[in-house]
A and B are shown apart, each in its own frame.
Chain A
Amino acid sequence: MSESPAPHPGPRPAPPHAQSHAQSHAQPPAPVPAPLQAPAPAAEAALAARALVKEYGPTRALAGVDLDVPRGQSLAIMGPSGSGKSTLLHVLAGMVLPDSGAVHLQPNTPGHVDVTSLTPDQRTRLRRERFGFVFQQGLLLPELTAEENVAVAAMLAGASRARATAAARSWLAGLGLAEHAHKRIGQLSGGQAQRVAVARAQITEPEVVFADEPTGALDSHTSAVVLGLLLETTVDRGRTLVMVTHDETVAATCARTVRLSDGLVVADTARGAR
């Protein structure tokens, strides 16, 4: 597993699978630039969140979060239950709109998008084309084979079936699942299924990968393997990884850990990890 396959290596603003799609639909629509609140985002930030507030009824999930995530960084978001860590991930990924505040993708670059100013359809497209996701349950469809599960992500981004299948096969082989490509998800172990989820998140070569408890359902050994692959396929390739976890061991593998409590960032620790 020294090197994962890169069907379409090289940094670029949109995945090559989606190029024809992107050409026909253009890039995610030009956002109306919203004035960033102080402090200004770092020049190399992949994501910049400012004054995020989100309430669910009487519960304040986010109470004014500012966060910069530099390009190529691995960030762990930790905190007790109800601290707002999953809400923060969902807001950063454009799955949920904050009540106030803004999220910027690639600020200060030509690919800058104000995520919070997009329409629901535009945010859906943004997630499809520029983000990748690995969740605890893997987002995998049990009716599809491992190969089809991975290919679906590329097909959604506009790739042809043949091209998506070839890329999926390549990613699965790189993650040690070549002989399992035609198996259904139910025929795979938890670790294998999560490796399929990693392949699926990577096939569109997203700029940012969001992971919500990606190893939460795995034993410690399998967890380490999956985590290694996740880091190898993201930060080792210059992509950004934002991961929610409650596991200190998992968080320790990330370059930085942000801790939330009652919807506020209460600690921000950088370490030497990748």
Chain B
Amino acid sequence: MRAAVRLLPLFVRPRTVLSAQGILMAIAFAACSALFLTVAGGLWAFLHWDTTPDGSGVLVMYKILAGIATALLVVPAVTLGQAAANLAARSETDRLSGLSLLGASSRTITALAVSSPVIVAAAGSVVGIGGYFALLAPVSLIPFQGRGLGYANMLLPWWAVLTAVGLLVMVSAVASVMGLRKLAVSPLGVRTRSLESHFPWARIIVGAIGLVVLYVLLQITLNASGVAILVAGLLLSFMIALLVIDVLGVLFVRLVAHLSAQRARTADRLIAARLVSDAPKQYWRQVSGLAMTSFIAVVAGTGVSMLVQIDDQADGAAGPEALLAGDMRTGILLTLVIALLFITVSAAVNLTAQVYDRAPTYRELHAAGMDEGTVASLTVRTTMMPVVWVSVLSAGLGLLLVLPLAGFALVMSPATFLIMLSTVVVGILVLRAGLLLTRPTVRRVTLAESA
């Protein structure tokens, strides 16, 4: 470890930290911390609401729902942190190899490999605090119970800000170490470990069991009497459904990519499909946040549509209940939008990391006559193919879970239901637009040796 400390000033230079990758990582962490602090600020404001005048318990429900929304956003936030750390680890590969050649121990290499993303994560997160203060201005005006949460109420105490930033930095460090495990660093270079792929029997069995458990649980829940059992059963079903999506998502991505490769008519489609089918887990991780978001959009969209409908029919409702349904709709939309922002930034960062990872391949394909536009197209396809199909799968599973209710919601309150679903569609379009950010990297990498 002493060697790592001595080498650190040589290894982490302004030139490397301020490289294109370094800046992209810093932006990703800044966005991540700004968004996460804003969400945490919202939770903080809700937790400090005075609920004593409310005897109905509705205001307490706001606190619970805000807690659930924050918990749900942890997954896309961690995914973004991992993406940025992964990009950092990839950009260090040449120097890691050089250190290995010089006889550096694996501990020294690991320490140095983690140092760069940690420093960039810390710098980006600090910038993100500024973004959080700026974001609070519009977000604090969004009305709940008829008025905005208030700028001052959404300001987190200093220790909470430091804790959130510390957690982000820790995520980057852990993700870097995890990413390094997939790389074989040797004096001759750095390459991705070729892991033997087996037919995923275990995943299929676990997924099937999960589906059966989900079905049985839903039957029991829907036939049970008592609101507490119903709510607990539905929440448990919701969690199991998310786990099933996570287990089956990898299989689904692999299957879709395999079928796409078989019917690909152009070179870029064929290569993109094979890249995804060869590493379905990697591509699934990139879009797992979107799977969750699509699922929430359908399930929560159904629930809120029905609440809004019931609310509209209840004449003369007064007190906090009167605004609950509308506020839930606002809260869910906010959660979806923030999740989609996380996902868009992490997709762009992940794709950039992959482009750097495969730079020699793309350069050589270009040398052999593949134009830069086609290279860019195939890189975007590797992200968009799973994105589209995973959204369809997750929304489909969500519909399956709430099928009769979804039909009812669509008929009774189509606007609310369709707004929720269209948020995902718009989110996918924003994500596609976000991938345009990777185009300069593709161009730089592809044309590196051309005039």
Q: Report A's interface with B, CB cutoff 8 A.
A: 90, 93, 95-97, 120-121, 123-129, 131, 133, 135, 137, 139, 141-144, 148, 151-153, 155-157, 160-161, 186
Contacts and interface: CB of A to CB of B under 8 A. Distances in A.
A127 B368 contact: yes
B329 interface: no
A155 B270 contact: yes
Interface string B424-451: 0000000000000000000000010111
A156 B266 CA distance: 7
B369 A141 contact: no
Mostly, the B contact residues are: helix
A26 to B, nearest CB: 16
Nearest to A210: B367
B264 A161 contact: yes
A194 to B, nearest CB: 14
13 contacts: A93-B367, A123-B450, A126-B369, A127-B369, A135-B364, A139-B367, A141-B274, A143-B274, A143-B275, A152-B267, A156-B267, A160-B265, A161-B266
A97 B447 CA distance: 12
A157 to B, nearest CB: 7
B369 A156 contact: yes
Contacts of A96: 449-451
Contact of A144 (B271, B364, B368, B371): B271
Interface residues of B, number: 27
Nearest to A91: B451
Contacts of A127: 367-369
A144 B276 CA distance: 11
B451 A133 contact: no
Interface of B: 194, 264-267, 270-271, 274-275, 277-278, 360-361, 364-372, 374, 447, 449-451
Contacts of A155: 266-267, 270
A27 B449 CA distance: 25
Contacts, number: 75
Given A139-B364, A141-B274, A152-B271, 11 more contacts: A95-B450, A120-B451, A123-B450, A128-B369, A137-B364, A142-B278, A143-B278, A144-B274, A152-B270, A157-B369, A186-B194
B364 A124 contact: no
Contacts of B451: 96-97, 120
B275 A133 contact: no
Contacts of B360: 137
B271 A124 contact: no
Nearest to A54: B451
A128 B370 contact: yes
A156 B369 CA distance: 8
A178 B19 CA distance: 47
A128 B373 CA distance: 14
A120 B274 CA distance: 28
Given A96-B451, A141-B361, A155-B267, A124 B370 contact: yes
Contacts of A123: 450
B260 to A, nearest CB: 12
Contacts of B278: 142-143
Nearest to B262: A161
A126 to B, nearest CB: 8
Nearest to B192: A142
A60 to B, nearest CB: 16
Contacts of A131: 369
Nearest to A135: B364
A95 B277 CA distance: 31
A186 B193 CA distance: 12
